[in-house]
Amino acid sequence: MRLAYAPYRLCFKEPAGTSRGVMRLKQTCFIKVFDEADPSRFGIGEAAVFEGLSAEAGRGYELKLIELLANMALGRSTDLSRHSSIQYGLEQALLNFSSGCSGLYFPSSFTEGKTDIVINGLVWMGDFDTMMKRIDSKVAEGFSCIKLKVGAIDWHSELEMVKSIRSQFSESQLQIRVDANGGFNMDNALPRLKALADLGVHSIEQPIPAGYPELMRFLCEVSPLPIALDEELIGRCSTEEKIAVLDSIAPAFIILKPALCGGFSGAQEWIKLASERNIGWWVTSALESNVGLSALAQWTATLGNPMPQGLGTGQLFTNNFEAPVFLNGEHLCCIAGAPLDHTQFDSLQWRQ
């Protein structure tokens, strides 16, 4: 078995705002595995590294890919415990190869086109009027759950935006999730959480920055609004580290991005440990291309979680790839039996 990798830069159709800044480009990396006797047949995966979030992002990232490439050629194992995105991409490539280099990663009723996945409608940051237009668009498209990125405009305007939504739609009509990306602090977090709870918001992701477990534990204990951990999971690779996070903070939910929390295998362990502690969870994508999104959706479909999932729709980028997933209202669907066209990857600059 041999391996090759190809760095790739995804281009946003519109600037994507978060509390950490505005993104116009998103670096990713594709991995393929193949038999040297027939390199035209290969399994494809996406190592969805996320600069600014992925613990492994940095100067040593490509060195780890080179190490993996060499070790696979020699039949040796590679320690990827601290390289979640590479683990994620390699798992995809191997699954795709073992399925006959088709569009399959995790066969299920979803890949047969018989079931779908309900997802939340993500509303990116912007000014008040822009965000309200985006919210109206998501509701018109049929979303019953929306997720608001907050922190780009002043808090008063963001709160007025939530009030405006609630004046039009009750909790039973529209579920609202909020993602602060660590944008609050201990001086303002509690009054903001109360204000959001009073408006019937479902939950908030990562109200304060990761790395302050005692403060996050306190917020989880006293907050009237359920708190979900996201960035807090990144870089926690061993079972002991995961248990320590869950036991020391005791959140209401955890948000799973396999690209950032140990690939599919690492995310599966997070689910097991959380379930044992009656902690809820859902899956969120990490700005993958349609390649990673297709594999992620197929895995998510096997988990049987009825909550709206935080999966992207592949509509963010101008230079995306074709894959057998599509959006129908709030339902992410898969085209039954549709192959993944591997020829679209021929023009990538593969390193092997």
Residues annotated as catalytic are: 149, 257
The set of residues, in sequence order, having a beta carbon less than 8 Å from that of 276 and lying 6+ positions away, is none
Residue with tokens 């204000």: 195
**CA gap 238, 33 in Å, rounded:** 26
**CA gap 168, 148 in Å, rounded:** 16
* Burial zone of 314 (CB within 10 Å; 0-12 exposed, 13-18 middle, 19+ buried): buried
Task: Provide the phi-psi class of 323: left if phi over 0, else alpha when psi is between -120 and 50, else beta.
Answer: beta
Q: Please give the sequence-ordered ranges of beta strands (E in DSSP) within 195-252, or none if there are none.
A: 203-205, 227-229
DSSP string, 138-165: HHHTT-SEEEEE-SSS-HHHHHHHHHHH
**CA gap 109, 301 in Å, rounded:** 8
**CA gap 24, 27 in Å, rounded:** 10
